[in-house]
């Protein structure tokens, strides 16, 4: 199987419709042994979701803004498994006043929160888990939403943070390559998760995506993203790092709707 024998950590599992849950589900089906992470009030939700996987998974405490939490998780995994083969960054958050067309009025404190949780945390966790990965190498995969060529309606400082996340991926790929650790991102099309429904304007993006994507797109199905993340976690892309892989039905490469609506 694709991930037979792999030891993986997956962040961000909060409900069965989430991309992170689809990744965990596909990883177990592909032969991986996994642990999940959570913290604070939502930890009980993650524990419930962990029991709904094909094999129940443990949940470790990890606040993405605290490197000491990541270090403690890495120490526990070294004790348990002797190593960590890879992990998934599926973490994002922006305060309400950093979204919804409020870009010019967003205070620094809210923009900083969005950046720290959604982008800088990738570096925070990578540094904390490095001792568990540096001996054998492995793969880190972050979840992105394409911000390379346009500003999405109402996405505002989350969009800026996701663009920063892609930059963090490249710089981590540079610095972790010496340990044979690959760092990549998957730019997913819109998936109707609890988090996505909290983004103003999501319905507008959702309505047009499937029509414009050459392969179509089902916003209710996170499995294509889950499978693609598992491919990056596997040994089948051993020389791919610093990359953003689009899993969006081809939407990013298509201008067909823009052309067809021009008079």
| Residue 192 annotated in ligand binding | yes
d(CA 226, CA 157): 26
| Residue 194 annotated in ligand binding | yes
Does residue 1 form part of some domain? Answer: no
d(CA 38, CA 4): 25
Q: Tell me how crowded residue 123 is: count the other CB atoms within 10 A of its CB.
A: 17
Reported as a single tens digit per residue, the pLDDT across 109-158 is 999 999 999 999 999 999 999 999 999 999 999 999 876 667 877 889 99
Q: How far is CA 205 from the centre of its chain?
A: 19
Reported as a single tens digit per residue, the pLDDT across 218-261 is 988 999 999 999 999 999 999 999 999 999 999 888 765 444 44
Does residue 2 form part of some domain? Answer: no
| Residue 260 annotated in ligand binding | no
Tell me whether strands 138-144 and 33-38 are parallel, antiparallel or unpaired.
unpaired
CA dihedral 23, 223, 193, 11 (to 10 degrees): 10
**Number of compact structural domains in the chain:** 1
Does residue 61 form part of some domain? Answer: yes
Long-range CB pairs of 256-261 (<8 Å, 24+ gap) are 256/212, 256/214, 257/208, 257/211, 257/212
pLDDT of residue 35: 98
| Residue 193 annotated in ligand binding | yes
The pTM (predicted TM-score) of the whole model is 0.93
Alpha helices in the chain (DSSP H): 19-29, 43-50, 67-81, 108-115, 121-133, 156-176, 194-197, 202-212, 223-233, 256-260
pLDDT of residue 110: 98
Sheet order of strands, 7-10 included: 58-61, 33-38, 7-10, 86-89, 138-144, 181-188, 244-247
Does residue 249 form part of some domain? Answer: yes
CATH assignment at residue 244: 3.40.50.720
d(CA 119, CA 124): 9
d(CA 86, CA 136): 10
| Residue 70 annotated in ligand binding | no
With a cut of 70, say whether residue 197 has pLDDT above it. Answer: no
| Residue 181 annotated in ligand binding | no
If one compares 202 and 263, the residue with the highest pLDDT of the two is 202
**Cβ(175)–Cβ(234) below 8 Å:** no
d(CA 58, CA 96): 32
| Residue 228 annotated in ligand binding | no
Domain that holds residue 208: 7-260
Does residue 241 form part of some domain? Answer: yes
| Residue 191 annotated in ligand binding | yes
d(CA 257, CA 16): 32
Tell me whether strands 33-38 and 7-10 are parallel, antiparallel or unpaired.
parallel
**Cβ(59)–Cβ(118) below 8 Å:** no
With a cut of 80, say whether residue 84 has pLDDT above it. Answer: yes
- Of 249, 259, 258, 150, the C-alpha closest to 209 is 249
| Residue 123 annotated in ligand binding | no
d(CA 89, CA 191): 16
């Amino acid at each position: 199987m694709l991930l037979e024998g792999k030891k993986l950590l997956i962040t961000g599992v909060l409900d069965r419709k989430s991309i992170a849950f689809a990744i965990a589900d596909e990883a177990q089906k592909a032969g991986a042994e996994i642990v999940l992470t959570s913290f604070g009030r939502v930890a009980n939700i993650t524990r419930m979701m962990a029991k709904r996987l094909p094999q129940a998974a443990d949940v470790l405490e990890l606040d993405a803004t605290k490197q000491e939490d990541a270090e403690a998780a890495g120490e526990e995994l070294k004790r348990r498994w002797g190593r960590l083969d890879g992990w998934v960054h599926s973490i994002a958050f922006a305060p309400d006043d950093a979204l919804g067309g409020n870009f010019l009025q967003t205070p620094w404190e809210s923009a900083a929160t969005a950046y720290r949780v959604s982008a800088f945390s990738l570096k925070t966790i990578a540094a904390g888990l490095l001792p568990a990965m540096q001996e054998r190498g492995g793969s880190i995969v972050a979840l992105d939403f394409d911000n390379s060529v346009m500003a999405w309606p109402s996405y505002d400082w989350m969009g800026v943070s996701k663009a920063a996340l892609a930059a963090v991926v490249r710089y981590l790929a540079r610095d972790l390559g010496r340990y044979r650790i690959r760092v990549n991102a998957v730019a997913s099309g819109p998936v109707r998760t609890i988090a996505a429904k909290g983004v103003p304007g999501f319905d507008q993006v959702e309505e047009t995506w499937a029509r414009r994507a050459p392969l179509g797109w089902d916003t209710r199905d996170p499995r294509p993203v889950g499978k693609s993340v598992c491919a990056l976690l596997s040994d089948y892309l051993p020389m791919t790092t610093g990359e953003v892989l689009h899993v969006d039905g081809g939407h990013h490469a298509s201008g067909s709707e823009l052309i067809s609506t021009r008079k």
